[in-house]
Every structure is written in structure tokens, then in C-alpha cells.
């Protein structure tokens, strides 16, 4: 697995020269899953059915609408045909799509490739009209893709190669010079069938696609275009990368953020890992500048391990049931498997030093929205408590 460090990465096997990039939409660029969470549960309740959360979490991502609808009708014994199900539930999804957020690194990647004249296609198993609706709420997306394809525009959707082959044909680029970026096993299989290079950015539920991809990343923030013969990113400031703000909310307990909110503005996307920095608000009035480590809690559950360190070493004290809000607007690097399990104190000090040098630079200040305008910063020489 590739790990990015300040824009410079470990030596890797040279990749084929890539002339065009094909991107999946749902789960790769757009966090539609979080935005539409609860829709199926609400719909099933109308028919006296209860959502089987465990079963839904095990389902394969990336299926066409008709395929997934047929499965739902069968699984819950609904008194509907798949077409009737689609007709009734799609308006509920449409109301939520406008709130779907771009996944970390998505806007950066799209703008970068477009600005350097790299042909860019969007190929999704969604119907074309639904793709247009979803991306209409994302500034500049429609204009930056030279090709946009839905599964209803080809003979068969993923895992068939049809979508990717048609995208390459419309861009006028040979399949062997196309790079696909996907999040699902079905999408990776389709890229393989089209004989294209493929980068997987899978959620934990789709980890099985890792063995079939050329490269596996934890998030799009780790993607290094220069490894594929594409123009390199030029937005790193020494060892830090300005990013669009990521907002988190949960309960602060002994250095960790627990019970993280899973929907709304503070929903944590599945594909977000690494070392970040930003601000933490406690007591509705105090703000700390912090380094934040986000990794998997363990392979057996869907919880993230979110560890927080103030950059000056002061300790944060929260009363019982006290909530904390985080606003992350800087990225340092991904976490290695070793760092996820045990944090090296020398590296921690290095990350704190990077944060101190970057957090107050104008570019980082402009990235965030002053989420906590009424709170005050805790000065670096102010010791809050010795309690850990």
C-alpha cells in the first residue's frame, strides 16, 4: 500500500504512462452513502419491514440500480416489483443527493487533472440522469469531465468492461493508457476486464478488491499522479497540504474522540485515514490547535480510532458527556500499519512541529470557515490540566 509523506513517497515500480483518467462516482468522489443514510430504513417502515443493518453492511457495492432494487424487494419480501420500488424510493434519494459531500481529495484531483489538460471521464453504474442530478450540486464537476457515462448508456454495467471501454473510446485514448479509480470490487473487476490500470480506494466493506487493483489507497489524498506519468501535484507547502475542511463531532475521552456522529455535517467518511491538523473546540468556548490521527479501530468493527494531541502539549479536560468538535484543514500523511497500532513519540513531535509551522499560515486559515467564532484559543503557554 502506498503511503504519502509530504508529497514524497517510497520508491515504487514504475507504472505505465497514463494519458486519461476514468473515475467512479458514488463512494469514490461523492459520499452519497452518508448523505442518503436512513432512506432505506424509512422506506421499509412504510411497509412494516425492519432494516437488517448487518445484512445491508455486507452487501457488495457498485451494483446497478435494477440489480440492487431486485435484491431489496426479494430480501424484504416487498409487495412491489423492482420497477415500482425504484419509482417510489428514488424521490426520497433525490432529496438527499443535494447534501452529498465530495470525499477528501476529490475536488483537488478533478481540478488538477482538468487544469493540466488530462482527459477525464466519469463512469458510474448509476443511470445518467441520476449522475447529472448528483454532480449538479458540485461546483465545476460537470464542466471538467469530457465524458460522463451511466450504465443505461452501454450494453451492460460494471463488472462488464463496457462502461470503461466506451469512456476510453469517446476520449480517443487506448485502454492500455487509461487509469481507473474505483472504490468497489465490481468496479475494479470492470477495469481489469477493460485491461486498464486501476487504483482502488475501498471502504472497509470492499477490502476484497485490494488484491485485484494495481494500487490501493486509503483516501484520494494519498494519490500521486506523477507515479502514473501524470503532472504532479504542486499544492504542498513544505510538509503540509491544505485541504477542504473535514468536520467531526463526538465525545472526548482520554485523548480520543468516541461516539463520532455518523450523519449530517459531522459525518466521518469511511475513506479517511492519516495524520491531520486543525482545531478542536471544547466547552463551547475553548479552541486548541491539534494534530489528529485517524485509523481503523480494528478489523472486526466499523469504528475509527481518532487520537488527538495538542501541538503545545497541554492537556484537554472535558467533563462527563462533554462533546468535542473538530475542524481539520491540514493533511500531513497517511498512517502506516505500525503507526496505527503504536504511535512513535519522535514522529509525534515531528508532526507537531509541522503543524506549528503551518496552522497559522494564510492558506490554511482561508481553508476553514471559522466554525467556532465565539470560542477563544488556548495560548501555548497555558497549562489546562495534568489529567490524562
Q: Which residues form the catalytic set? A: 24, 26
Residue whose C-alpha is closest to residue 103's, from 8, 213, 41, 181: 181
Q: Which residue has the cell 514522529?
A: 347
Q: Which residue reads 475494479 in cell numbers?
A: 188
Rounded Cα–Cα distance for residues 160 and 165 (Å): 9
Q: Which residues contact 201 (CB under 8 A, 6 or more apart)?
A: 28, 181, 182, 183, 216, 217, 218, 219, 220, 223, 271
d(CA 243, CA 245): 6
SS3 83: helix
Cα separation, 24 vs 182, in Å, equals: 5
C-alpha grid cell, residue 79 = 409487495
Phi, psi of 46 (to 5 degrees): -65, -25
Q: Are 61 and 68 in contact (CB under 8 A)?
A: no
> Are 39 and 263 a contacting pair, CB within 8 Å?
no
Residue 34, C-alpha cell as written in the block: 452518508
The residue count of the chain comes to 388
Torsion angle in degrees (nearest 10) through CA of 111, 158, 183, 135: 40
CB-side neighbour CA atoms (13 Å) of 90: 17
In the Cβ-directed half-sphere of 245, how many Cα atoms lie within 13 Å?
Answer: 20
* Three-point CA angle 64, 69, 71, nearest 5°: 105
Q: For residues 327 and 247, is the Cβ–Cβ distance under 8 A?
A: yes
Strands 178-182, 323-333: pairing is: unpaired
E strands along 227-356, which residues? 241-253, 256-258, 274-282, 286-296, 304-310, 323-333
Amino acid at each position: 500500500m502506498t503511503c504519502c509523506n509530504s508529497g514524497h513517497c517510497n520508491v515504487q515500480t514504475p507504472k505505465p504512462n497514463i494519458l486519461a483518467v476514468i473515475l467512479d462516482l458514488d463512494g469514490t468522489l461523492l459520499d452519497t452513502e452518508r448523505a442518503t443514510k436512513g432512506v432505506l430504513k424509512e422506506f421499509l417502515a412504510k411497509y412494516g419491514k425492519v432494516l437488517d443493518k448487518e445484512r445491508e453492511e455486507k452487501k457488495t457495492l457498485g451494483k446497478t440500480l435494477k440489480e440492487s432494487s431486485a435484491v431489496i424487494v426479494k430480501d424484504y419480501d416487498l409487495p412491489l416489483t423492482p420497477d415500482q420500488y425504484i419509482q417510489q424510493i428514488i424521490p426520497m434519494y433525490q432529496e438527499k443527493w443535494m447534501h452529498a459531500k465530495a470525499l477528501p481529495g476529490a475536488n483537488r484531483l478533478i481540478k488538477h487533472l482538468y487544469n493540466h489538460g488530462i482527459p477525464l471521464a466519469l463512469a458510474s453504474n448509476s443511470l445518467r440522469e441520476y449522475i447529472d442530478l448528483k454532480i449538479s450540486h458540485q461546483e465545476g464537476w460537470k464542466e471538467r469531465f469530457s465524458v460522463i457515462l451511466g450504465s443505461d448508456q452501454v450494453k451492460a454495467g460494471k463488472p462488464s468492461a463496457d462502461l470503461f471501454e466506451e469512456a476510453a473510446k469517446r476520449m480517443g485514448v487506448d485502454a492500455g493508457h487509461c487509469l481507473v479509480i474505483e472504490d468497489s470490487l465490481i468496479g475494479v473487476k470492470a477495469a481489469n476486464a477493460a485491461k486498464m490500470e486501476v487504483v482502488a480506494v475501498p471502504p472497509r466493506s470492499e477490502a476484497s478488491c485490494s488484491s485485484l487493483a494495481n494500487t490501493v489507497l486509503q483516501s484520494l489524498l494519498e494519490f500521486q499522479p506523477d507515479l502514473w506519468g501524470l503532472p504532479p501535484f504542486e499544492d504542498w507547502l513544505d510538509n503540509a497540504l491544505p485541504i477542504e475542511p473535514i468536520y467531526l463531532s463526538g465525545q472526548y475521552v482520554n485523548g480520543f474522540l468516541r461516539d463520532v456522529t455518523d450523519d449530517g455535517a459531522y459525518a466521518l467518511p469511511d475513506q479517511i485515514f492519516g495524520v491531520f491538523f486543525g482545531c478542536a473546540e471544547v466547552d463551547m468556548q475553548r479552541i486548541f490547535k491539534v494534530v489528529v490521527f485517524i485509523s481503523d479501530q480494528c478489523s472486526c468493527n466499523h469504528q475509527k480510532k481518532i487520537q488527538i494531541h495538542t501541538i503545545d502539549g497541554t492537556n484537554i479536560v472535558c467533563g462527563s458527556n462533554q462533546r468535542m468538535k473538530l475542524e481539520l484543514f491540514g493533511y500531513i500523511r497517511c498512517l502506516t500499519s505500525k503507526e496505527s497500532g503504536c504511535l512513535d513519540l519522535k514522529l509525534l513531535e515531528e508532526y507537531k512541529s509541522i503543524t506549528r509551522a503551518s496552522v497559522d499560515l494564510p492558506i490554511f486559515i482561508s481553508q476553514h470557515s471559522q466554525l467556532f467564532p465565539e470560542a477563544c484559543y488556548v495560548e501555548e503557554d497555558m497549562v489546562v490540566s495534568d489529567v490524562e
